[in-house]
Amino acid sequence: MIQSKNPTTEEVLKTFEEISDKELEKKLALADKAFKLWKKTSFKERAVLMLKLGEYLRVHAEEFSKLQMLEMGKTMKSGPIGIAKCALLCDYYADNTENILANEILNTDKKEQYAEFDPLGVVLAVMPWNFPFWQVYRFAVPAIMAGNVGILKHASNVPQCAKAIEKSFIAAGFPKGIFQNLFLSVSRVEGLIRDPRIAAVTLTGSEKAGIAVARVSGEEIKKVVLELGGSDPFIVFADADITEAARVAVLARMQGNVGQSCISAKRFIVEESVKSKFTKLVIEEFSKLSVGDPSNKETDIGPLATEKILEEVTMQVKKSVSLGAKVAYGGARKGKKGFFYLPTVLTNVKKGMPVYDEEVFGPVMPIISFKTESEAIQMANDTRYGLGASIFTSDMIKAKRIIPQIEAGNVCVNDMVKSDPRAPFGGIKKSGYGRELGTYGIKEFVNIKNVWFG
């Protein structure tokens, strides 16, 4: 049984039955058949439908935002922004795929030689709940524009979002079987990966889930892209605009999603001489945010998505405080109904505390001080993750000196880490491997074929 539960009211909204083995077989056969036809279509034919999908998303932005709000608590204030980004993604690949995947001429001693980019087949996506629309379109749009077809195993707590995504492709006019949603338990994913009709796999989720999917995909020798957790450092030097750094820090921590994002800044590494000023300013910024009903368009912070996440964040803060961290702001659950946790600022944070060592999936800002540049770099890299990093400084020579030393797939200066349809996105270390978005992302699920004429 797959359950849709409102994290604001704790009410069960709907339940869905898992797909039967017989129905799963039908869907896999349909996907396989659809790919054989879809791969023969032109980029122009695909682009027409992709532009229609983008327009459909714009028209239904309010409806989709409401589904997110009901199933995982994203506020109606931030929801439409995310749906608009999905539409821009459709536009980008509709406009650029033909050029990106054009044959690449190779200058060799052959009469003619080039690299050709052919689709792989059916791509299985195992997707998370925290950005239930964006994460799915982020894989599906480039994969389908490249000539592949998609099958989705979405997070079990956002089934209505999953159904709406499948419906969007049908409504935009894509042929039957190009994109299908499966209501499937985690225990059945391994069998799905092993099915010979699945050509490749992409997963956005936890480190544990990534290990499981990578293991099975490796045994089957199937291409896999993993976008996993993060514990992104947000480094603030004394020469930075501290007021601006504090403002962006709060946005970077929240990411419009109560901090439930792999690319949220999670460790705030601040030069000691400006730590007090920075702490005061971020508390001021947090105090401006309203916590409450996510259906209210004035609300900035809604509930955490599940009771389990609320319990884990509570435990991480509590244990860190027991080890010496100080609560400068917040530090507790809000109310007894709904999975709300107050925005929290912790100081005196050290290595060995959960908020330093672990990924915290909630609105908690641990502030860690440093004295020297080398110490800041060491602290930034002192994590098993490597997704993103922010550096705040007015000295661009220093910033460019530090960037190559940061172990992350994304580094930004005087800004927050965020994804962009036009740029590659992904991580290293335990944050996964492979890339999404941009020209690199669309080439993850193609056969890069070397062709030459003697």
Q: pLDDT tens-digit profile of 156-169? A: 999 999 999 999 99
Which positions are annotated as active-site residues? 227, 262
Domain pair 2-228+431-453 / 232-420, same fold: no
> Which of 411, 405, 407 minimizes the C-alpha distance to 424?
411
For 2-228+431-453, the fitting CATH number among 1.25.40.80, 3.40.605.10, 3.40.50.2300, 3.40.640.10 is 3.40.605.10
Rounded to whole angstroms, the Cα distance separating 224 from 205 reads 13
DSSP conformation letters of 194-210 = HSTTEEEEEEES-HHHH
Rounded to whole angstroms, the Cα distance separating 434 from 366 reads 29
| DSSP H or E segment with residue 246 | helix 242-254
Q: What is the per-residue pLDDT for 225?
A: 98
Q: Where are the domains of the chain?
A: 2-228+431-453, 232-420
First-residue to last-residue Cα distance in the chain: 59
- The CATH number of the domain covering residues in 232-420: 3.40.309.10
What is the number of H-type helices and E-type strands within the chain? 15, 20
Rounded to whole angstroms, the Cα distance separating 352 from 297 reads 39
DSSP H stretches of helix in 261-372: 275-287, 307-322, 354-357
Report whether 319 contacts 353 (CB < 8 A).
Answer: yes
Report whether 229 contacts 318 (CB < 8 A).
Answer: no
The residue behind tokens 């409504």 is 171
Tokens at 39, concatenated: 């791969």
The mean predicted confidence, pLDDT, of the chain is: 97
pLDDT tens-digit series, residues 390-405: 999 999 999 999 999 9
The answer, as to whether pTM is greater than 0.85, is yes
Inter-helix orientation angle 43-59/134-145, to 10°: 160
Q: What is the per-residue pLDDT for 49?
A: 98
**Percent of the chain clearing pLDDT 70 (strictly above):** 100
> Which of 201, 145, 156 minimizes the C-alpha distance to 178?
145
- Ranges of beta strands (E only) in 25-131 are 104-105, 112-119, 122-126
pLDDT tens-digit series, residues 263-313: 999 999 999 999 999 999 999 999 999 999 999 999 999 999 999 999 999
Report whether 76 contacts 65 (CB < 8 A).
Answer: yes
Q: How many angstroms separate the Cα of 282 from the Cα of each of 317, 326, 341, 366, 426?
A: 18, 15, 17, 11, 28
pLDDT in tens, the chain (454 residues): 899 999 999 999 999 999 999 999 999 999 999 999 999 999 999 999 999 999 999 999 999 999 999 999 999 999 999 999 999 999 999 999 999 999 999 999 999 999 999 999 999 999 999 999 999 999 999 999 999 999 999 999 999 999 999 999 999 999 999 999 999 999 999 999 999 999 999 999 999 999 999 999 999 999 999 999 999 999 999 999 999 999 999 999 999 899 999 999 999 999 999 999 999 999 999 999 999 999 999 999 999 999 999 999 999 999 999 999 999 999 999 999 999 999 999 999 999 999 999 999 999 999 999 999 999 999 999 999 999 999 999 999 999 999 999 999 999 999 999 999 999 999 999 999 999 999 999 999 999 999 999 9
